[in-house]
Structure 1
Amino acid sequence: MKDNRPVNLDISTIKLPITAYASILHRISGVAVFVGIAVLLCLLDSSLQSAESFDSVKSSLTDSFLLKAVVWLVVSGLIYHTTAGVKHLIMDLGIGETLEGGKKGATITLASAAILIVLAGVWIW
Protein backbone atom coordinates (compact mmCIF):
# COMPACT_ATOMS: atom_id res chain seq x y z
CA MET A 1 0.00 0.00 0.00
CA LYS A 2 1.40 3.36 -1.04
CA ASP A 3 1.09 6.20 1.45
CA ASN A 4 0.23 9.49 -0.31
CA ARG A 5 0.56 11.68 2.75
CA PRO A 6 3.26 14.36 2.65
CA VAL A 7 6.47 13.48 4.45
CA ASN A 8 7.52 17.03 5.30
CA LEU A 9 4.55 19.40 5.51
CA ASP A 10 5.62 23.01 4.92
CA ILE A 11 3.04 25.12 6.75
CA SER A 12 4.14 28.31 4.99
CA THR A 13 2.86 26.95 1.66
CA ILE A 14 -0.67 26.27 2.92
CA LYS A 15 -3.19 28.91 1.85
CA LEU A 16 -5.61 29.59 4.66
CA PRO A 17 -8.99 31.26 4.09
CA ILE A 18 -9.52 34.80 5.38
CA THR A 19 -11.76 33.47 8.14
CA ALA A 20 -8.82 31.48 9.52
CA TYR A 21 -6.61 34.57 9.57
CA ALA A 22 -9.35 36.54 11.36
CA SER A 23 -9.73 33.77 13.94
CA ILE A 24 -5.99 33.41 14.53
CA LEU A 25 -5.60 37.18 14.91
CA HIS A 26 -8.51 37.23 17.37
CA ARG A 27 -6.72 34.71 19.58
CA ILE A 28 -3.37 36.52 19.30
CA SER A 29 -4.96 39.88 20.09
CA GLY A 30 -6.63 38.38 23.16
CA VAL A 31 -3.27 37.24 24.52
CA ALA A 32 -1.68 40.59 23.62
CA VAL A 33 -4.42 42.50 25.46
CA PHE A 34 -4.05 40.22 28.50
CA VAL A 35 -0.30 40.85 28.67
CA GLY A 36 -0.63 44.51 27.70
CA ILE A 37 -3.04 45.24 30.51
CA ALA A 38 -0.24 44.40 32.96
CA VAL A 39 1.94 47.06 31.33
CA LEU A 40 -0.84 49.64 31.44
CA LEU A 41 -1.61 48.80 35.08
CA CYS A 42 2.06 49.33 35.96
CA LEU A 43 1.94 52.74 34.27
CA LEU A 44 -1.25 53.57 36.13
CA ASP A 45 0.23 52.46 39.44
CA SER A 46 3.33 54.58 38.83
CA SER A 47 1.28 57.61 37.92
CA LEU A 48 -0.83 57.38 41.09
CA GLN A 49 2.10 57.44 43.55
CA SER A 50 2.47 61.22 43.67
CA ALA A 51 2.17 64.36 41.58
CA GLU A 52 5.85 64.04 40.61
CA SER A 53 5.43 60.43 39.51
CA PHE A 54 2.38 61.44 37.46
CA ASP A 55 4.45 64.11 35.71
CA SER A 56 7.22 61.55 35.16
CA VAL A 57 4.86 59.05 33.54
CA LYS A 58 3.26 61.82 31.49
CA SER A 59 6.63 63.03 30.20
CA SER A 60 7.68 59.43 29.47
CA LEU A 61 4.52 58.88 27.43
CA THR A 62 5.16 62.14 25.59
CA ASP A 63 8.88 61.68 24.91
CA SER A 64 9.51 57.94 24.63
CA PHE A 65 8.93 56.40 21.20
CA LEU A 66 9.20 52.90 22.69
CA LEU A 67 6.53 53.56 25.32
CA LYS A 68 4.22 55.08 22.71
CA ALA A 69 4.76 52.01 20.53
CA VAL A 70 3.91 49.69 23.44
CA VAL A 71 0.73 51.64 24.22
CA TRP A 72 -0.20 51.65 20.53
CA LEU A 73 0.32 47.87 20.29
CA VAL A 74 -1.88 47.26 23.33
CA VAL A 75 -4.57 49.60 21.99
CA SER A 76 -4.30 47.92 18.57
CA GLY A 77 -4.83 44.52 20.14
CA LEU A 78 -7.82 45.83 22.05
CA ILE A 79 -9.30 47.39 18.90
CA TYR A 80 -8.95 44.20 16.86
CA HIS A 81 -10.17 41.94 19.66
CA THR A 82 -13.22 44.15 20.22
CA THR A 83 -13.99 44.35 16.49
CA ALA A 84 -13.75 40.58 16.10
CA GLY A 85 -15.81 40.11 19.26
CA VAL A 86 -18.58 42.26 17.81
CA LYS A 87 -18.46 40.11 14.67
CA HIS A 88 -18.90 37.01 16.83
CA LEU A 89 -21.84 38.59 18.66
CA ILE A 90 -23.49 39.42 15.35
CA MET A 91 -22.95 35.83 14.20
CA ASP A 92 -24.51 34.62 17.48
CA LEU A 93 -27.65 36.46 16.38
CA GLY A 94 -27.72 34.28 13.26
CA ILE A 95 -26.38 36.90 10.85
CA GLY A 96 -23.54 35.86 8.54
CA GLU A 97 -23.35 32.21 9.51
CA THR A 98 -22.92 30.96 5.94
CA LEU A 99 -19.51 30.50 4.34
CA GLU A 100 -19.98 33.61 2.22
CA GLY A 101 -21.24 35.57 5.22
CA GLY A 102 -18.24 34.46 7.25
CA LYS A 103 -15.87 35.62 4.54
CA LYS A 104 -17.61 39.01 4.30
CA GLY A 105 -17.63 39.34 8.08
CA ALA A 106 -13.92 38.55 8.31
CA THR A 107 -13.12 41.05 5.55
CA ILE A 108 -15.19 43.77 7.23
CA THR A 109 -13.56 42.97 10.58
CA LEU A 110 -10.04 43.17 9.20
CA ALA A 111 -10.71 46.34 7.21
CA SER A 112 -12.51 48.22 9.98
CA ALA A 113 -9.92 47.19 12.57
CA ALA A 114 -7.09 48.33 10.27
CA ILE A 115 -8.72 51.75 9.84
CA LEU A 116 -9.31 52.11 13.59
CA ILE A 117 -5.75 51.01 14.39
CA VAL A 118 -4.32 53.63 12.02
CA LEU A 119 -6.55 56.27 13.60
CA ALA A 120 -5.37 55.18 17.05
CA GLY A 121 -1.78 55.56 15.89
CA VAL A 122 -2.49 59.08 14.69
CA TRP A 123 -4.15 59.86 18.04
CA ILE A 124 -1.26 58.45 20.11
CA TRP A 125 1.44 60.15 18.10
Structure 2
Amino acid sequence: MTSAPRPRPKYYDLNLLHLPPAGLVSIFHRVTGGLLFLGIPVLLYTLQLALSSEAGFETVRACLTSPLMKVVLLGITWLYAHHFFAGIRYLLLDFHIGIEKRPSGISARVVLALGVIATLVVAGMIW
Protein backbone atom coordinates (compact mmCIF):
# COMPACT_ATOMS: atom_id res chain seq x y z
CA MET A 1 0.00 0.00 0.00
CA THR A 2 1.19 3.46 -0.81
CA SER A 3 0.26 6.50 1.18
CA ALA A 4 -1.90 9.21 -0.29
CA PRO A 5 0.00 12.06 -1.89
CA ARG A 6 0.51 14.98 0.40
CA PRO A 7 -1.16 18.23 -0.69
CA ARG A 8 1.17 20.70 -2.26
CA PRO A 9 1.74 23.94 -0.38
CA LYS A 10 -0.08 27.00 -1.68
CA TYR A 11 1.88 30.07 -2.61
CA TYR A 12 -0.09 33.29 -2.91
CA ASP A 13 1.08 35.93 -5.35
CA LEU A 14 0.81 39.18 -3.41
CA ASN A 15 1.98 41.29 -6.33
CA LEU A 16 -0.56 44.07 -6.96
CA LEU A 17 0.66 44.85 -10.49
CA HIS A 18 -1.54 42.27 -12.15
CA LEU A 19 -4.77 43.48 -10.55
CA PRO A 20 -7.29 45.45 -12.59
CA PRO A 21 -7.79 49.10 -11.57
CA ALA A 22 -11.02 48.26 -9.74
CA GLY A 23 -9.13 45.76 -7.57
CA LEU A 24 -6.44 48.31 -6.77
CA VAL A 25 -9.06 50.89 -5.82
CA SER A 26 -10.77 48.37 -3.56
CA ILE A 27 -7.57 47.40 -1.74
CA PHE A 28 -6.35 51.00 -1.46
CA HIS A 29 -9.76 52.09 -0.15
CA ARG A 30 -9.56 49.62 2.70
CA VAL A 31 -5.94 50.42 3.51
CA THR A 32 -6.45 54.20 3.39
CA GLY A 33 -9.51 53.92 5.62
CA GLY A 34 -7.57 51.95 8.20
CA LEU A 35 -4.59 54.29 8.14
CA LEU A 36 -6.80 57.37 8.40
CA PHE A 37 -8.60 55.81 11.37
CA LEU A 38 -5.30 55.02 13.10
CA GLY A 39 -4.13 58.60 12.49
CA ILE A 40 -7.02 60.17 14.40
CA PRO A 41 -5.19 60.21 17.78
CA VAL A 42 -2.17 61.93 16.23
CA LEU A 43 -4.41 64.50 14.56
CA LEU A 44 -6.28 65.18 17.81
CA TYR A 45 -3.04 65.53 19.77
CA THR A 46 -1.65 67.96 17.19
CA LEU A 47 -4.85 69.99 17.26
CA GLN A 48 -4.84 70.05 21.07
CA LEU A 49 -1.19 71.17 21.11
CA ALA A 50 -1.80 73.91 18.55
CA LEU A 51 -4.85 75.25 20.40
CA SER A 52 -3.42 75.01 23.93
CA SER A 53 -1.05 77.97 23.80
CA GLU A 54 0.90 80.24 21.52
CA ALA A 55 4.06 78.25 22.19
CA GLY A 56 2.24 75.03 21.24
CA PHE A 57 1.03 76.65 18.04
CA GLU A 58 4.56 77.71 17.15
CA THR A 59 5.81 74.19 17.86
CA VAL A 60 3.25 72.68 15.49
CA ARG A 61 3.92 75.37 12.90
CA ALA A 62 7.68 74.76 13.01
CA CYS A 63 7.11 71.02 12.70
CA LEU A 64 4.80 71.41 9.71
CA THR A 65 7.25 73.60 7.79
CA SER A 66 10.02 71.00 7.68
CA PRO A 67 10.50 69.28 4.29
CA LEU A 68 10.09 65.81 5.78
CA MET A 69 6.76 66.75 7.35
CA LYS A 70 5.61 68.24 4.04
CA VAL A 71 6.21 64.86 2.41
CA VAL A 72 4.27 63.20 5.24
CA LEU A 73 1.44 65.69 4.71
CA LEU A 74 1.40 64.83 1.01
CA GLY A 75 1.08 61.16 1.91
CA ILE A 76 -1.82 61.96 4.23
CA THR A 77 -3.36 64.08 1.49
CA TRP A 78 -3.24 61.15 -0.93
CA LEU A 79 -4.73 58.85 1.73
CA TYR A 80 -7.64 61.21 2.30
CA ALA A 81 -8.19 62.09 -1.38
CA HIS A 82 -8.15 58.47 -2.54
CA HIS A 83 -10.46 57.36 0.26
CA PHE A 84 -12.85 60.25 -0.47
CA PHE A 85 -13.07 59.67 -4.24
CA ALA A 86 -13.26 55.88 -3.86
CA GLY A 87 -16.07 56.35 -1.32
CA ILE A 88 -18.03 58.39 -3.85
CA ARG A 89 -17.41 55.68 -6.45
CA TYR A 90 -18.73 53.00 -4.09
CA LEU A 91 -21.81 55.09 -3.27
CA LEU A 92 -22.56 55.32 -6.99
CA LEU A 93 -22.02 51.59 -7.36
CA ASP A 94 -24.48 51.03 -4.48
CA PHE A 95 -27.06 52.91 -6.54
CA HIS A 96 -26.21 50.67 -9.53
CA ILE A 97 -24.60 53.52 -11.43
CA GLY A 98 -21.60 52.39 -13.48
CA ILE A 99 -21.76 48.82 -12.25
CA GLU A 100 -21.03 47.20 -15.63
CA LYS A 101 -17.47 46.13 -16.35
CA ARG A 102 -16.39 48.93 -18.70
CA PRO A 103 -17.82 51.90 -16.73
CA SER A 104 -16.52 50.35 -13.51
CA GLY A 105 -13.01 50.18 -14.92
CA ILE A 106 -13.22 53.77 -16.13
CA SER A 107 -14.44 55.01 -12.75
CA ALA A 108 -11.61 53.12 -11.03
CA ARG A 109 -9.05 54.84 -13.25
CA VAL A 110 -10.71 58.20 -12.57
CA VAL A 111 -10.47 57.59 -8.81
CA LEU A 112 -6.78 56.73 -9.07
CA ALA A 113 -6.11 59.82 -11.20
CA LEU A 114 -8.12 62.18 -8.98
CA GLY A 115 -6.21 61.06 -5.90
CA VAL A 116 -2.91 61.87 -7.58
CA ILE A 117 -4.21 65.17 -9.00
CA ALA A 118 -5.50 66.31 -5.61
CA THR A 119 -2.15 65.45 -4.04
CA LEU A 120 -0.28 67.41 -6.72
CA VAL A 121 -2.55 70.43 -6.17
CA VAL A 122 -1.82 70.35 -2.44
CA ALA A 123 1.90 69.89 -3.18
CA GLY A 124 1.81 73.04 -5.27
CA MET A 125 0.13 74.90 -2.43
CA ILE A 126 2.52 73.86 0.35
CA TRP A 127 5.75 74.24 -1.62
Aligned to 1:36: 39
Deviates more, 1:39-48 or 1:82-91: 39-48
2: CA distance between counterparts of 1:53 and 1:13?
Answer: 42
Specify the alignment match of 2:61 in structure 1.
58
Question: Counterpart of 1:84?
Answer: 86
Q: Residue in 1 aligned with 2:49? A: 46
Q: Paired residues, what number?
A: 121
**Residue type at the aligned position of 2:111:** T
From the superposition, tell whether residues 21 and 57 of structure 1 become closer, same or farther in structure 2 (CA, over 3 Å): same
Identity %: 31
Distance 2:16 2:46 in 1: 42
Are the structure 2 counterparts of residues 123 and 38 from structure 1 closer, same or farther at C-alpha, using a change threshold of 3 Å? farther
Partner of 1:107: 109
- One-letter amino acid of the counterpart of residue 83, structure 2: H
Question: Structure 1, unaligned stretches of length 5 or more?
Answer: none
Post-superposition offset of 1:24: 0.4
Q: Give 1:24's aligned residue.
A: 27
**Of the two, which has the highest radius of gyration?**
2
| Rounded Cα–Cα distance in structure 1 between residues aligned with 2:91 and 2:28 | 17
- Contact 2:16–2:24 (8 Å) recurs in 1: no
- C-alpha distance in 1, partners of 2:17/2:55? 54
Q: Given the two structures, how large is their TM-score scaled by the length of structure 2?
A: 0.82
TM-score (norm 1): 0.83
Contact 1:68 1:124 in 2 (8 A): yes
Structure 2 gaps, min length 5: none
AA matched with 2:92: I
